Amino acid sequence: MKEDKLRTEFLRQVANIPGGESIKKCIQCGCCTGSCPVSYTMDITPREIIALFRAKDIESILSSRTIWICASCYACTVRCPQGVQVTDILYALKRLALEQKIFPKRFPVYSLSKSFIFLANRYGRSYEPGLIIAYFLRTNPFKLMGLIPLFLKLFFKGRIRLLPNRIKGTKAFSQILQEAEIMEMIVPIREA
């Protein structure tokens, strides 16, 4: 039951990716895994992700460390002989895992994304010191101490802004975001 729901949702996400349908053409050659600079530290390799999708086990994929380790460098995508959009499929899986609140046990990426989005929504721009502080407060505040030397080095080189820059139209910007949230829920009906 759960698998069916996840599958429908996943296929909807994939349909939004230009070239997303090429996932059907995967020949399980493993070129993606071989090209990936971080596959050595994944629990499920990119090739296995597609195999698990075919084996109807999306839940295992979503609870893997793999989708969060992907740095989206697109090495797999450009080398795939079948044109499978591996990186964008991993993005779709990240969105699905967040939406379904299926997280692996240790989960720094969610905290970083949340911190980033909080700041970007508020100011319309990213704010590096705020991002780092918010992230470590959510994960491990003690690690902030270790970052002080680097912070000072960058600060004295004039590479750190103490205050955030904000866009002029922050009010209109949040209206756009609210409307985007509503649009997010509108799902086109496609025939199976």
Please tell me whether residue 186 binds another protein under the rule CB under 8 A.
yes
Please tell me whether residue 133 binds another protein under the rule CB under 8 A.
no
x-marked contacts with another protein along 90-129 as a string, rule CB under 8 A: -xx-xx--x---------xx--xx--xx--x---xxxxx-
Cα gap 82→84, rounded to integer Å: 6
What single DSSP character describes residue 188? -
Query: Which of 145, 157, 191, 192 is in the footprint of another protein by CB under 8 A?
Result: 157
If phi > 0 it is left, if psi is from -120 to 50 it is alpha, else beta; for residue 83 that is left
| Assigned token pair, 13 | 């996400």
Any idea which residue has 């596959």 for tokens? 39
Closest to 83 measured CA to CA, from 12, 26, 37: 26
Nearest-approach distance from CB 49 to another protein, in angstroms: 16
Contact in structure between 32 and 47 (CB atoms under 8 Å)? yes
Binding site for another protein (CB under 8 A): 13, 16, 18, 37-38, 41, 68-69, 71-75, 77-78, 85, 87, 91-92, 94-95, 98, 108-109, 112-113, 116-117, 120, 124-128, 132, 135, 150, 153-154, 157-161, 165, 167-169, 172-173, 175-181, 183-184, 186, 188
